[in-house]
Structure 1
Amino acid sequence: MARLHLFDLDGTLIRGSAAAVEISRQLGLSDEIAALEHHFARNGLTPDEFAVRARELWEGLTQDQLIAAFDGAPWMEGIREVWADIRTRGDHCAVISLSPDFFVERLLPWGAHAAHGSRWPSVPFTEPVDRSGILDAVAKVKIANQLCAEFEVKLDECVAYGDSMSDAHIFAAVPVAVAVNADHHLSELATHAYTGSDLREAYELVRFRQ
């Protein structure tokens, strides 16, 4: 019976950081994005408003800076190896993230079957952010259902990996969930919890329970 492994990006595949943080670092805007992230986490800033404000900060973003942000991010070790093993077993793996699609989709060559992020204009920007294309936590479940239909897998045959309360909805929707470097709020909702820098170790928690 095939399974679908669903991975969050920020704080999960990227340890202790996020796509927005790494992009802003390349632009010398670390303080500015930290303030925006704080507003998002603490003061109820919506994902679409966050995106609009981030787009303003990143007005001059180039493809070279985007590539540098992606390549320089603190990725978990073993991502390619985990996804290769998933494929070898006849299972599927996908990334679902609120981060910009132009960053998330760069993971496809690493072995993900699918990578879904918020819909942003192409880099360099010539258009505004379309708020309707920005994902929220609930949208992760909707996309998971779409992927299940695409890969002919049931939602109760999925495993979710995440780190924050934005993953709470998807954790509640699947039978097996792995909290990766998460605080106790999410860990208490998870089947398994992992702290460390190697995705292979987190994957081992569910690999032999198929």
Structure 2
Amino acid sequence: MRGAVFFDVDGTLVPGGSSGQHLADRLGHGAVCREAEAGYDSGALTNQEASVIDARGWAGWTPADVRGFLGSLPLVDGIAETVAWCRERDLLPVVTTLAWDAVGSYLCDRFGFAESCGPRLEIVGGRYTGEVAEHIDEFGKRDFARRVAARVGLTMNRCAAVGDSRSDLPLFADAGLAVAFNGQPAARAAAHVSVAGGDLRAVLPALSAWQGRGPTA
């Protein structure tokens, strides 16, 4: 394995919003989720507090229900092509996100990402209970990336990260290349490269140049 590329979801693969809000709108608690996300964005709520509020709206629904709702998830163009580009160059494509684990699993199955992280919701008897089984924060994203890299024999300077927000900053600080894609100001300030657009392939020139420099162990 020559390297790895870690991709964020909300604001990166999902443009102009979040997968959590998309799902909450369909699960029937969209207004509650919108308020919780605004609280997290402003710093009034921690990620865990916002997740607990959102999770309550999942009670009684099934994983199959959620999988069906994910079929209409808004996504940027060029995801499949970008994943294929990484694979062709022996770069492991991985999803690193604070979105629910069902979202990461869906993106892996649809586009061929190797694996994903994300907070988990409790399931009992085939239905969501409305409780969070496992939380993850921005440092958990970074730690997941570190574990993936170590497992495939990579140091973090041979890994790139693509993201847009403050939840990407710990991983950006570790990665050999940090790319802000449609980034918020904090992400742009922390990134090595900043690009914008509606097609994920906009990050490929930066990844290609980085790979051409031959990141070393």
TM-score (norm 1): 0.91
**C-alpha deviation, 1:60, in angstroms:** 3.8
Paired AA for residue 157 in structure 1:
R
How many Å separate the matches in 1 of 2:26 and 2:130?
21
Q: Take 2:155 and 2:85, find their aligned partners in 1: how far apart are those partners?
A: 20
Contact kept, 8 Å, 2:32 with 2:54, in 1: the verdict is no
**1:58-116 residue CA offsets vs partner (Å, 9 max, x unmatched):** 22434454124312111011111111111111110100111111221111221111111
Distance 2:104 2:127 in 1: 16
- Cross-structure match for 2:127: 124
State TM-score, norm by structure 2.
Answer: 0.89
Contact kept? 1:105, 1:117, Cα under 8 Å: no
The 8 Å contact of residues 56 and 130 in structure 2, kept in 1 or not, is answered as: no
Identity score, percent:
27
Contact 2:55 2:130 in 1 (8 A): no
Where do 5+ consecutive residues of structure 1 fail to align? none
Question: Residue 203 of structure 1 aligns with which residue?
Answer: 204
Q: Match of 1:92, SS?
A: strand
Aligned ranges for residues 107-186 of structure 1 at < 5 Å?
A: 107-109=107-109, 110-122=111-123, 124-126=127-129, 128-130=131-133, 133-186=134-187
1-side partners of 2:210 and 2:48: how far apart?
Answer: 38
1:25 touches 1:69 (CA, 8 Å); kept in 2? Answer: no
The residue aligned with 1:41 is 41
| Number of residue pairs aligned between Structure 1 and Structure 2 | 208
Unaligned runs of 5+ in 2: 212-217
Displacement of 1:175? 2.1
Q: Select between 60-69 and 45-54 the one with higher mean Cα deviation.
A: 60-69
User: What's the secondary structure of 1:149's corresponding residue?
Assistant: helix
Q: 1:70 maps to which residue?
A: 70
* Distance in structure 1 (CA, Å) of the matches to 2:189 and 2:132: 35
